[in-house]
Amino acid sequence: MKAISCLLAILALSLSVAVGQAETPQSSSPSALSSDYDDCLDATGGVTSNILDCTHAEYDRQDDRLNSNYKDAMARLSSARQASLRGAERLWIADRERRCRRELDEEGGGTWGDVLYATCFMETAAERASWMERYR
């Protein structure tokens, strides 16, 4: 039952990506996901390894976006605010790991747990990249 709920959540995310394409990337994490991700999911045939490939590729795009936004933010901050942001990022990374690990543990592992874990990392990277774009 939980696996079905998770599959429905991923499908809803895919639909929200398609619907949210007209929104600005800063509005929410699903709209910040690339259209390549949506296209990739459409072509998976529901095969877990294909879903993971799509999710890992999108994570890489979102992580690159986050790193670029972080560098831009650091370049415009005073040294005191840089130290504060650096500390906040370290806390965020640790929290992300705990959050995503908890999702995996709640699923009990397995291949669907791998999808949940990877999706958690991808979504949190997208959320943080959008947050970082607005950071002043």
Domain boundaries, the chain: 2-134
Determine the pLDDT at residue 31. 67
Instruction: Decide: 14 and 42 in contact? Cβ < 8 Å.
Output: yes
Determine the pLDDT at residue 107. 85
Q: Is a pLDDT exceeding 50 seen at residue 3?
A: no
Between CA 58 and CA 34 the distance in angstroms is: 7
- Report in angstroms the alpha-carbon separations of 15 from 42, 46, 122: 10, 15, 16
Average per-residue pLDDT for the chain: 82
Determine the pLDDT at residue 111. 87
CA of residue 95 relative to chain centroid, distance: 14
Between CA 115 and CA 109 the distance in angstroms is: 10
Determine the pLDDT at residue 48. 95
Determine the pLDDT at residue 12. 40
Instruction: Decide: 95 and 31 in contact? Cβ < 8 Å.
Output: no
